[in-house]
Structure 1
Amino acid sequence: MMDALLKAGYRPEIERAVQQCLASQDLADHETGAVTAEAAAEHGSATAVEDGKRFRLFELSANCIDLNDRQVEVLLAMRQPNVVLFGNLLCDWECDALIESSRPKLTPSRVVNADKGTYELKRDVRTSSGAFFQRGETPLVAAIESRLSRLLGVAESRGEPLQILHYPPGAEYRPHYDFFDPARPGNQRVLSMGGQRVGTLIIYLNDVKAGGSTVFPKIGLDILPKKGCGLFFSYADDAGGLDYQTLHGGSPVVAGEKWIATKWLRLGDYLARSD
């Protein structure tokens, strides 16, 4: 696994993160987004093994996945929590085109208020800007969504709109969960739009000079941005069980800038509400 990461261009320092991950080092809780660290402590660090539930896993059958239009490499894989790093997911011109087409649409990123169900600016938590592309909005977006569906085995209808995010120097997203706590009243609105989120795919659209990693503080894993690579992780099962080990965040960009594309997957077909 380390050989594949190094050949793909990742720095040797990632070996330390992988070793920490394999040793299951449990780090202290960090501030979260949609679901708080206090809620995670209340639920405990439930796992598929401990509670008898099976979280949605990306099952690996080969080290390289043939998607007809390209060979996607598997650079890193974990089962608990389920984390997979893909190489050669997007080519350079696709990454560049997504960045350029999103520039005119960028607005400050918002977070869901779990008590009110509103989308609000929270600059102490999330300091990026972003743009959304509806399903099939452009030929490029349609081609990428089709590729992601084939890769993950999830219908395109279950994906939220592709989001492009820009992080200038100093920008970050403090550790948070991508799923929605069903006990919070404000989350009922977002849950009605396709059910619980079950997985996230982050695609790195550029190389970052320093910082900007995707960090999983509970398991000691730090993924450095690498252009064209994709990071997938899942965190929910059909019965509503949630994996609290998937606390994650985007560390501050120290030098340069960071561009990513994010695709969130739902338990059912995603249907945006206009109210």
Structure 2
Amino acid sequence: MPIFKEHNEQLNLANTLLYKGKALEAAAVLEPLVKQEVPDALLMKVDVLICNNPSVGLKFVFELVEKGIAGASYKAAFLLYFHPQVGVAFQPYLYDAYIKGDLNAVIAAANLYYQQNDLVKAFTILKRFDHLESIIAILDALDFESVSEPIEIYDFNDIKKADLSALSYQLIAPEINLYTVDDFVNDFECHWLKCHAESSIKRSLVVDGHTGKNEVSQVRTGSVAQFVSTSSDWVLLNIEMKISAYFNLPVEHGELSNVLHYAPTEEYKAHYDFFHPKDSGSAVALQDGGQRYKTVLIYLNKVKSGGETNFPRLSKSITPKYKQLIIFNNTDNNFAPLPLSLHQGMPVIEGEKWLFSKWIREKPTSYKNVLNAISFL
């Protein structure tokens, strides 16, 4: 069934209500579209039902799969992958969505195989849809030279979650619990994040210490894209869950994820990520989740020259390393500021720098509403 303008208005309103935690009001807005069996409304109803009773919501999405509603198999796979406690395998639903040509399923499955270093199956999945521009871009960006040709894939039963035990970390500065982790993400994820960011990237802002509002500043001269996650962002949400699991950080304590871009000469001068108690604007900034106590950064490309992450008060400097994660504390365990966490993104000298960033707060943030709205939590 085609989506008309008035349908979009109702869907957007229902989505807004869901993000505000008003599931009953969202249900009332959706009901006319549900009766017409508009696929997007039916899928959103799954999230509405899960807000009140997860088992009822899951039963409803399985009913939608049986009816052959567009997007239902992917929705079921998404829910089951990120909620393994349900005890139902996600792989058959993801495979069904892939066979039906669901682009979200194609991206998710290819990345999951790439994540477990099964390049043949990742290539096979992408090659089946190489008539699509977005898939062509992925094939061009990734190294599949070792793959001679596609194979037959009859199911996704061998897809596994990331083996985080294979990762190792290195302590750089105990004063702020500064660690690095090599190869935390893969080539596929780096490419996807950069492409995902390009459509919405804009000049970076900083938080004004007096007003607590965001503003343009010469302190930070790069660009940023901020992601308000949807259920189609399987790759992004998988990265966030890996961060959460590896470092034992509640995902709902995070702010929205960002991808940063720095061209030659662009930089982020020395700054703190915590909100200074003496700044009048900190009271405003602290309202959403309290203090920023951890910073997570991941390098998404190979920087030709420059772009180091420097900690001047520790005399430590980290040279950009493709796919490496950096994490450090901005506060102590009582959420008091750590002056030694002063850091700067040094100017890029040659090439460009792409960086994933995420701040973690002491309490749940408004990002929890976004995750609840898509039944991620």
User: TM-score, normalised to structure 1's length?
Assistant: 0.72
Amino acid at match of 2:203: P
Query: Which is further off, 232-241 or 181-190?
Result: 232-241
Deviation of 1:77 after TM superposition, in Å, equals 3.5
Matched, 1:154 2:254: no
The 5-angstrom pairing of residues 72-83 of structure 1 reads: 72-83=167-178
**Secondary structure at the counterpart of residue 174 of structure 1:** strand
Relative to structure 1, the CA distance from residue 144 to residue 165 in structure 2 (aligned partners, 3 Å threshold; closer, same or farther) is same
CA displacement, residues 90-145 of structure 1 (integer Å, 9 cap, x when unaligned)? 011111110011001101000011101211001x2111100111245511111011
* Alpha carbons 1:71, 1:88 under 8 Å: kept: no
Alignment: residue pair count? 207
Partner of 1:48: none
Matched, 1:125 2:125: no
Relative to structure 1, the CA distance from residue 82 to residue 238 in structure 2 (aligned partners, 3 Å threshold; closer, same or farther) is closer
Partner of 1:134: 228
Take 2:268 and 2:337, find their aligned partners in 1: how far apart are those partners?
21
**Secondary structure at the counterpart of residue 284 of structure 2:** helix
* Alpha carbons 1:92, 1:227 under 8 Å: kept: no
Partner of 2:337: 242
The 5-angstrom pairing of residues 32-181 of structure 1 reads: 68=163, 71-122=166-217, 124-135=218-229, 138-181=233-276
Relative to structure 1, the CA distance from residue 73 to residue 253 in structure 2 (aligned partners, 3 Å threshold; closer, same or farther) is same
Matched, 1:232 2:327: yes
Computed over aligned residues only, the root mean square deviation of the Cα atoms, in angstroms, reads 1.8
The 5-angstrom pairing of residues 248-259 of structure 1 reads: 248-259=343-354
Relative to structure 1, the CA distance from residue 134 to residue 72 in structure 2 (aligned partners, 3 Å threshold; closer, same or farther) is farther
Partner of 1:25: none
Partner of 2:282: 187
Take 1:194 and 1:188, find their aligned partners in 2: how far apart are those partners?
11
Aligned match for 2:317, one of 222, 241, 263: 222
Matched, 1:197 2:278: no
User: TM-score, normalised to structure 2's length?
Assistant: 0.53
Structure holding more strand per residue? 1
Deviation of 1:239 after TM superposition, in Å, equals 2.9
**Secondary structure at the counterpart of residue 167 of structure 2:** strand
Aligned structure 1 segments of 4 or more residues deviating by more than 2 angstroms:
66-71, 75-78, 134-137, 237-240
Partner of 2:302: 207
Amino acid at match of 2:194: I
* Alpha carbons 1:67, 1:151 under 8 Å: kept: no
Partner of 1:26: none
**Secondary structure at the counterpart of residue 219 of structure 1:** coil
**Secondary structure at the counterpart of residue 365 of structure 2:** coil
Structure 2 unaligned blocks of 5 or more = 1-160, 368-377
CA displacement, residues 27-63 of structure 1 (integer Å, 9 cap, x when unaligned)? xxxxxxxxxxxxxxxxxxxxxxxxxxxxxxxxxxxxx
**Secondary structure at the counterpart of residue 337 of structure 2:** coil
Query: Which is further off, 77-86 or 131-140?
Result: 131-140
Take 2:162 and 2:175, find their aligned partners in 1: how far apart are those partners?
26
- Matched residues, percent identical? 33
Take 1:213 and 1:136, find their aligned partners in 2: how far apart are those partners?
32
Structure holding more helix per residue? 2
Amino acid at match of 2:219: V
* Alpha carbons 2:171, 2:177 under 8 Å: kept: no
Aligned match for 2:364, one of 250, 269, 275: 269
Amino acid at match of 2:283: Q
Take 2:234 and 2:162, find their aligned partners in 1: how far apart are those partners?
18
Structure showing greater relative contact order (alpha-carbon pairs closer than 8 Å, 6 or more residues apart): 1
Task: Flag the structure with larger Rg.
Answer: 2
